[in-house]
């Protein structure tokens, strides 16, 4: 997402479908989160999201089903982070951060995996080094 700059400021925009790889069903945002607080700490079974830090800074640590970890700094509204389903997320908020979430689904509690042990069970099913039996 490239901002449109002028002397009076910047305009940031998302145009569906070219900027976001899914149809948008829900927008949500987090603000007034205590500096250093962690949010996320879950995965989604089916939901896809794109996240944009509108102000401040949010550090993201993601882990996929293969156990690979990735870290990202969201520190500009011109950056967006795509999160596919079945990725464990953990976000650490900087001072005065505002994080916008863009989702392909309406809220559904059953889509959440909030228990780390449950997520690790999914990981063990697909990891080649696991002792799980493959179908």
Cβ-proximal residues to 36 (8 Å cutoff; 6+ apart), any chain: 92, 93
| Residues 53, 67: Cα–Cα separation, whole Å | 25
Question: Active-site residue 44, yes or no?
Answer: no
Which position among 42, 57, 105, 127 bears the catalytic label?
A: 42
Q: How many residues does the chain have?
A: 135
DSSP state of 132: P
Which of the residues are catalytic?
42
């Amino acid at each position: 997402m490239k901002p449109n700059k002028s002397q009076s400021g910047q305009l940031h925009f998302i145009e569906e479908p070219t900027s976001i790889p899914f149809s948008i069903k829900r927008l949500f945002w987090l603000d007034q989160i205590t500096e250093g607080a962690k949010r996320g700490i879950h995965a989604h079974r089916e939901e896809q999201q794109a996240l944009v830090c509108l102000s401040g800074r949010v550090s993201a640590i993601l882990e996929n089903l293969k156990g690979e970890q990735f870290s990202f700094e969201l520190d500009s509204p011109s950056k967006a982070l795509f999160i596919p389903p079945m990725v464990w997320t953990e976000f650490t908020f900087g001072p005065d951060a505002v994080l916008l979430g863009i989702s392909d689904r309406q809220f559904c509690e059953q889509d959440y995996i909030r228990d780390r042990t449950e997520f690790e069970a999914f990981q063990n099913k697909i990891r080649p080094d696991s002792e799980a039996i493959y179908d």
